[in-house]
Structure 1
Amino acid sequence: MYDQDVDAETALFVISVAADLAGMHPQTLRQYDRLGLVSPSRAPGRGRRYSARDIAQLREVQRLSQEDGVNLAGIKRILDLENQVLALGHRVEELEAEIAHVRQQARRIFAAGVAGDIVATSVGRRPEAQRSTARSTALVVWKPDRVR
């Protein structure tokens, strides 16, 4: 029936349906959009289209306002900080993956013979190909600086 997968980010709901799902008046959703609290997608005719994530955020705005007594400026700041924390968390994950990759690369040791061939080897060992060569063959071993 549908060509695309539907997820929490897919903008499906017109403003009246979103307002019903969030338990608010449509005019409240328009006000929240103007204030930047919840920014729905726009349809080609410029009509607002809300996703499931937008509905959840509308409910969170309502909860902060009614239950915790936070004003709209405070809610905007809270939402901005939460988004910043999420973005920083993703960046930390990226950096951890990069560090793990660099550490993995730092464990590799390479050996090069006079013939110019390069092979990976383990610490304290000559590569198998190098063992059978003549005594005059030079062996150079290097390792990148350790990542701390």
Structure 2
Amino acid sequence: MKSTDINRVMGIWLTTNLEAHPFINPNYWYQNSSNVQNAIQQADVYCSVSANERIQGFIGLQDNYIAGLFIAKDYQSQHLGTNLLNVAKEKHQQLVLDVYLENQRAIKFYQQNGFQITKHNSLEAEMTWLK
């Protein structure tokens, strides 16, 4: 990610969270956006970019922790998330992430990509992938 990409990345982050998590008060995402923007600028971020150089999605990594994987709505279901996960898998022996249990689409996606639930509470699950 280039520093000039932050507005597009944050737009994808906000829009995707609002759409994927209707069970969370939208104010939560708005209130946390500046903290997330700071975290993104400190993370290793890899972007999927279209032929006309438009960011389609991104994955943010903090060491072996996937802080987020987001694909813009117009580009979902085109294997971009899998491609971004594969980039992360090439760089790490193990990956860990947290996912909301109510987001069954995300859980299914990660399971199809080799992740297993390793811990959970009433709201979230930790999922792990090992090489």
Task: Answer yes or no: same fold by TM over 0.5.
Answer: no
TM-score normalized by structure 1? 0.25
Query: Higher strand proportion, which one?
Result: 2
